């Protein structure tokens, strides 16, 4: 087994040497990232792209979160949108793309497998629990050619544990009667590796009527030949989440009792099932040629009962049912022509077979979901995507790395309105071609100066118009995002790193599209821009510190006259993170983390005020009785600050349109027992 591990680590090191020296990487690594066979199949992301953050397992596996997307809030420039309503809990975003659901600009991958639902939301991330995560990788900007659909502002790849020999468990009890069990098991011998994971989480929730029960199961089986040239395997996951939903609060309700659940929401709940199955193949064809492939199947069945506004018309009380399946195939070929040039290309295909149903109900307190008054949606629809890319990694000298790239995508599909039998085809976008370029200059091992330019695209999603051409549906062009970024990564002194970057991203014909509600706003031309500042330091052997600050802005700069000059709603202007880890002794360690998010406009005309800012701190202490047994105590929102997610209810409010609030949790504590065998 040790022979296999050494061989695979050698493959990784050779890959790094060919594609560019470590000094030429502009990635920032948070925590320790284990080098393992899972990353040996293709070129490492951080050796190709220029705006990458990687968070290792030590910053993830011991964290208590209700949902795994919360882990990403530790990383620089990450905005979180905390709905906190049953299974629809929230999501991360960045580069001034908000998490409202109107413009889903972030691609999600799990072990390299595309994992967005049709609308672009990141629901599959909930399948992964912290103890099973090996690393989280965030790629910002428009210069990554590997992915097309939903990869507008960048992508997130959650890498889970593969290979190794371990048996680990984590048992947690905490506030709101929260209990969680995570178990991870791995064995590797004779070229065969198997990994298993099981988790169960139950909580009464911090608000009334917010009980949650979820579980996740996973297995991975891989075989590697003795010479390390062939690796093949299968991954499988299953997940279920049943949750009550406390509902949104008016300003008056929030002031009276921020943790209440209004009577109208007494029957609101969600039941979500998700499955993921994938086959993986990596084959070293020759010393200079490597092929990798992933074949995958994703499925989600989600039934949500939700009441938005008690005083509004029947549209405010709904049952929404998603039934989506995705079949996909990703192929990658890497050719290391010589030490100066490497070619990397890929071809992908995805077919989606989906159904969406939405029923409305009469005014009642609480809502009675037994007999619908209106069927707003009942559609079967397909989406097919063929995409390809090619990029060259050119290293003309030790100081330079140049990566030109090109991506092309095509979409097709159809929808059937089951109520009327009407059919329609997907908007005709033609072939969408996107050039890209990245350059890194490293005058010394301590300095890397980088720049990138590239284009990404937005296409409409959903089950009927405007995504599909029905009677009266206007033509929509793909929204082309053109982005540019300039930055530098510095090693100021020993064991410290800093990165400074300025960026801008311009979009044509951008559309704010919420498929679940058939709500569409043609924003026109938009401009997003910002500055990213990051600093990490291992000040002493026992003390680590990190900080980041992102300044960003998203504005409409062309199109509808009333929107020109207005900020894109739900986009804060500043996001800040700080953290500190101190190891007092070999057995005792402390950590402190803070995050802040600025306020944002809640409507497209910027007329209803700004809300949503917060400053929160979490802390923790860990004591290890032995190398295999430890306990930790974590305190979330340690200063018990009030904060909330806020949106303006123009869709369901009608005459009662007003800001609606979802309160965040107060101070909470969690005690965990960790076992390693």
What is the DSSP annotation of 405-453? EEEEEEEE-EEEETTT--EEEEP---EEEEEEEEEEEEEETTEEEEEEE
CA 231 – CA 394 distance, rounded (Å)? 28
* Residue positions counted in the chain: 677
Q: Which of 77-86, 163-172, 293-302 has the lowest mean pLDDT?
A: 77-86
| Residues 351 and 384: beta-carbon distance below 8 Å | yes
| Residues 112 and 454: beta-carbon distance below 8 Å | no
Q: Please name which of 266, 192, 199, 274 lies closest in space to residue 230, comparing C-alpha atoms.
A: 192
- The torsion region of residue 262 among left (phi > 0), alpha (psi -120 to 50) and beta comes to beta
CA 118 – CA 460 distance, rounded (Å)? 10
* Token couple for 491: 């090693």
**pTM of the prediction?**
0.92
Local structure of residue 633 (DSSP, 8 states):
E
Going by pLDDT thresholds of 50, 70 and 90, the confidence category of residue 593 is very high
Going by pLDDT thresholds of 50, 70 and 90, the confidence category of residue 231 is very high
Could you tell me how far CA 68 lies from the centroid of its own chain? 10
Q: Please name which of 396, 413, 245, 236 lies closest in space to residue 324, comparing C-alpha atoms.
A: 413
Task: Reply yes or no on whether the pLDDT at 123 is more than 60.
Answer: yes
Sequence spans of domains, the chain = 2-676
User: Which pLDDT score, from 0 to 100, does residue 561 have?
Assistant: 80
CA 279-283-285 angle, 5° bins: 155
What is the DSSP annotation of 290-351? EEEEEEEEEEEEEEEEEE--TTS-GGGEEEEEEEEEEEEEEEEEEEEEETTEEEEEEEEEEE
Given the DSSP bridges, would you call strands 113-114 and 431-444 parallel, antiparallel or unpaired? unpaired
Going by pLDDT thresholds of 50, 70 and 90, the confidence category of residue 42 is low
CA 344 – CA 290 distance, rounded (Å)? 10
CA 332 – CA 309 distance, rounded (Å)? 49
Fold of 2-676: Maltoporin; Chain A (2.40.170)
| Residues 174 and 668: beta-carbon distance below 8 Å | yes
| Residues 48 and 421: beta-carbon distance below 8 Å | no
Instruction: Write the burial class of residue 181 (CB in 10 Å: 0-12 exposed, 13-18 middle, 19+ buried).
Output: middle
* Chain segment 172-208, per-residue pLDDT in tens: 999 999 999 999 999 999 999 999 999 999 999 999 9
Going by pLDDT thresholds of 50, 70 and 90, the confidence category of residue 652 is confident
Instruction: Write the burial class of residue 1 (CB in 10 Å: 0-12 exposed, 13-18 middle, 19+ buried).
Output: middle
Task: Reply yes or no on whether the pLDDT at 493 is more than 90.
Answer: no
* Chain segment 232-269, per-residue pLDDT in tens: 999 999 999 999 999 999 999 999 999 999 999 999 99
Task: Reply yes or no on whether the pLDDT at 9 is more than 60.
Answer: no
Q: Which of 164-168, 385-389, 494-498, 534-538 has the lowest mean pLDDT?
A: 494-498
Mean pLDDT highest for which of 30-34, 111-115, 495-499?
A: 111-115
User: Which pLDDT score, from 0 to 100, does residue 467 have?
Assistant: 94
The percentage of the chain sitting over the pLDDT mark of 90, rounded to a whole number, equals 79
Mean pLDDT highest for which of 30-34, 213-217, 492-496?
A: 213-217
Q: Please name which of 4, 65, 221 lies closest in space to residue 637, comparing C-alpha atoms.
A: 65
Residue ranges of the alpha helices (H) in 560-620? none
Q: How many CA atoms lie within 13 A of 367 on its CB side?
A: 32
């Amino acid at each position: 087994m040790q022979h296999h591990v050494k061989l695979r680590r050698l493959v990784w090191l050779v890959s790094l040497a060919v594609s560019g020296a470590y000094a030429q990487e502009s990635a920032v690594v948070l925590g320790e990232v284990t080098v393992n066979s899972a990353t040996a199949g293709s070129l490492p992301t951080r050796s190709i792209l220029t705006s990458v953050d990687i968070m290792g397992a030590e910053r993830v596996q011991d964290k208590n979160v209700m949902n795994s997307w919360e882990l990403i809030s530790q990383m620089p420039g990450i905005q979180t949108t905390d709905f906190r309503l049953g299974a629809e809990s929230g999501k991360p975003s960045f580069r001034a793309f908000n998490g409202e659901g109107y413009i889903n600009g972030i691609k999600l991958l799990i072990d390299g497998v595309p994992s967005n639902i049709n609308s672009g939301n990141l629901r599959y991330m909930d399948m992964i629990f912290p103890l099973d995560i090996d690393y989280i990788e965030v790629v910002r900007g428009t210069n990554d050619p590997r992915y097309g659909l939903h990869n507008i502002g960048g992508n997130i790849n959650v890498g889970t544990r593969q290979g190794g020999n371990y048996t680990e468990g984590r048992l947690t009890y905490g506030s709101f009667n929260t209990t969680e069990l995570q178990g991870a098991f791995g064995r590797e011998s004779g070229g065969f590796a198997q990994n298993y994971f099981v988790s169960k989480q139950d909580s009464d929730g911090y608000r009334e009527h917010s009980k949650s029960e979820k579980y996740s199961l996973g297995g991975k089986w891989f075989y590697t030949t003795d010479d390390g040239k062939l690796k093949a395997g299968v991954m499988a996951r299953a997940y279920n989440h049943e949750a009550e939903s406390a509902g949104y609060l008016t300003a008056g309700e929030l002031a009276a009792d921020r943790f209440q659940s209004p009577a109208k929401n007494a029957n609101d709940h969600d039941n979500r099932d998700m499955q993921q199955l994938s086959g993986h193949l990596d084959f070293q064809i020759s010393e200079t040629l490597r092929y990798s492939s992933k074949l995958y199947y994703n499925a989600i069945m989600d039934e949500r009962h939700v009441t938005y506004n008690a005083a509004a018309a029947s549209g405010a009380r709904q049952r929404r049912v998603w039934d989506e399946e995705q079949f996909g195939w990703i192929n990658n070929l890497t050719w290391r022509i010589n030490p100066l040039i490497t070619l990397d290309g890929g071809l992908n295909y995805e077919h989606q077979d989906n159904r969406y149903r939405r029923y409305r109900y009469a005014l009642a307190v609480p809502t009675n979901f037994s007999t619908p008054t209106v069927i707003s949606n009942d559609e079967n629809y397909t989406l097919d995507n063929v995409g390809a890319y090619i990029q060259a990694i050119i290293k003309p000298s030790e100081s330079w790395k140049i990566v030109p790239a090109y991506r092309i995508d095509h979409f097709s599909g159809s929808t059937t309105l089951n109520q009327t039998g009407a059919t329609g085809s997907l908007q005709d976008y033609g072939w969408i071609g996107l050039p890209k370029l990245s350059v890194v200059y490293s005058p010394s091992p301590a300095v890397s100066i980088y720049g990138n330019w590239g284009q990404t695209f937005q296409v409409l999603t959903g089950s009927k118009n405007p995504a599909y051409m029905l009677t009266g549906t206007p033509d929509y062009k793909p929204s082309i995002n053109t982005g540019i970024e300039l930055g530098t990564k510095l090693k100021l002194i020993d064991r410290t790193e800093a990165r400074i970057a300025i960026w801008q991203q311009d979009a044509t014909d951008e559309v704010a599209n919420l498929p679940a509600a058939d709500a569409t706003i043609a924003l026109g031309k938009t401009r997003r821009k910002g500055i990213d500042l990051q600093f990490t330091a291992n000040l002493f052997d026992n003390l680590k510190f990190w900080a980041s600050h992102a300044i960003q802005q998203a504005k409409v700069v062309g199109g509808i006259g009333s929107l020109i000059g207005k900020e894109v709603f739900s986009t804060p202007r500043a996001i800040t993170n700080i953290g500190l880890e101190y190891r007092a002794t070999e057995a005792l360690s402390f950590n402190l983390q803070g995050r802040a998010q600025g306020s944002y406009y809640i409507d497209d005309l910027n007329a209803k005020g700004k809300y949503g800012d917060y400053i929160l701190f979490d802390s923790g202490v860990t004591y290890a009785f032995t190398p295999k047994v430890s306990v930790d105590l974590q305190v979330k929102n340690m200063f018990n600050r009030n904060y909330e997610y806020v949106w303006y209810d123009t869709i369901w409010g009608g005459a009662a349109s007003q800001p609606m609030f979802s309160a965040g949790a107060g101070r909470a504590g969690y005690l965990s027992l960790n076992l390693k065998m």
